[in-house]
Amino acid sequence: MAASCPNCGYDNPLGANFCSSCGDQLRAAADSETERITITELDAPVAPPQGAVLVVRTGSKRGSRIALDADQISIGRQEDSDIFLDDITVSRNHATLRRSASGFSVQDHGSLNGTYVNKKLVEGSELVDGDELQIGKFKLVYLELGAER
């Protein structure tokens, strides 16, 4: 049996204190069974078994999963963005995610606060399973569904 992470859903070995995938603390969440079930039920239909998701690690929608189900996905503070991040630290047209044969890449659009992958400022970067994407104050973990962890 495994301990499912309430932040990213990764199944960790029993007795683990922190998630092997996203680093979130597991012990405190284990005491809150109801909250974990609620988040899982809300997020379960969002992502297909194969593909990729972004899990919001910090920001106003912490714990939410965003299915990456299009070839091009806009991210920004503009309300018609595919991924709408409502915070002043996010530019209106901040970045774009693009699907390729190997997965997704991110491209910054000259945003004021920049786009970071694993705490490094990037103009563009291929994303790898487990990468942390930071846009403004939002930290999003990129997960490839079906990937070995």
pTM of the full structure: 0.65
Under 8 Å between Cβ of 46 and 65: yes
* Distance between start and end Cα atoms, the chain: 16
Query: For 69-120, how does the pLDDT look when each residue is reduced to its tens digit (9 = 90+)?
Result: 899 999 999 999 999 998 999 999 999 999 988 899 999 999 999 999 999 9
Question: How many angstroms separate the Cα of 94 from the Cα of each of 54, 81, 90, 100, 110?
Answer: 16, 9, 6, 20, 7
> Using CA atoms, how far apart are residues 11 and 1, in angstroms rounded to an integer?
9
